[in-house]
Amino acid sequence: MEIDCMTAKLYSWNVNGLRASMDHGLMDFIESVKPDVLCMQETKIMGNSLPVELLSAGYKLYINEAEKRGYSGTVTLTKVEPLNVTKGMGNEVYDREGRILSLEFKDFFLVNSYFPNSRRNLERLQYKLDFNTEFQRWIKNLEKRKPVIICGDFNVAHSEIDIARPKENQKNAGFTIEERTWMDNFLDDGFIDSFRAIHQTDVKYSWWSYMGRAREKNIGWRIDYFILSAALKEKIISADIMDNVKGSDHAPVYLLMNSEL
């Protein structure tokens, strides 16, 4: 496939700790794929302790850190300086954990997102559902200005094809009917799951538990996405999961767009 200079190479990765990922080949990954933009989630780092190697890699770097040290957080690297950068959704209730980092480019907004986990015993399910509702409202308002690309860890496997053991997990965090119904509604609100637009029936996962050699056995979940406004569907060149890349319990996902940053 011949890709012209108008192609935007967008990558997203829940690194499960930015410092740890540096020790497990993050810089090698960046050098290998040469992203135009790399969005990272669960970075667990404060702005004053970013690795020097990352700061000198030739990218503009933006961070939205959580108030709680060593928790959550998002970081975005970009070759092209954005027109605007926004941290959070403008709602204090949901913006304390550094989960949303939005960059405005010429043709679209790129929203780096790390959705809450419902947690064991679903103790945070209602918080997540409320977060989801606020996020959808905020995104639809943003979309009034220009199309939106949302990437990151949504902490939900949308359909049974997106999880290795659907029956066993129906009442577990990340696969509850409430979370999956929200995902249905969100996509029905004018958005495209880029991976499924290309790979309608492929079984591929982006997260594996560290327990029970789950990754080795490929007992995984697809919970990391590039979701985009339906208006951008025809601009998709390729979208996939790099499930061979190690360094985190998540795999990177990418989206190649026939678009200009």
- Identify whether 202 is a catalytic site residue: no
Question: Is residue 155 marked as binding?
Answer: yes
- Prediction pTM value: 0.96
In the chain, which ranges are E strands?
A: 7-14, 37-41, 60-64, 74-78, 84-87, 100-104, 109-114, 148-153, 191-193, 207-208, 220-221, 224-229, 236-241, 253-258
Query: Is 64 one of the annotated binding-site residues?
Result: no
Among 147, 146, 180, 148, smallest CA distance to 162 is for 180
Catalytic choice (59, 114, 225, 254)? 114
Map residue 61 onto helix, strand or coil: strand
pLDDT average, residue stretch 145-169: 98
Judge contact between 99 and 65, C-beta under 8 A. no
pLDDT of residue 3: 39
Task: Tell me which of 153, 193, 224, 243 is the catalytic residue.
Answer: 153
Is 249 annotated in a binding site? The answer is: yes
Q: Is the pLDDT of residue 1 over 80?
A: no
Pair 258, 22: CB distance under 8 Å: no
Please, what are the domains in the chain? Answer: 7-258 (3.60.10.10)
Q: Which of 162, 205, 225, 250 is catalytic?
A: 250
114 an active-site residue? yes
158 is catalytic: no
pLDDT one-digit tens code per residue, 178-233 = 999 999 999 999 999 999 999 999 999 999 999 999 999 999 999 999 999 999 99
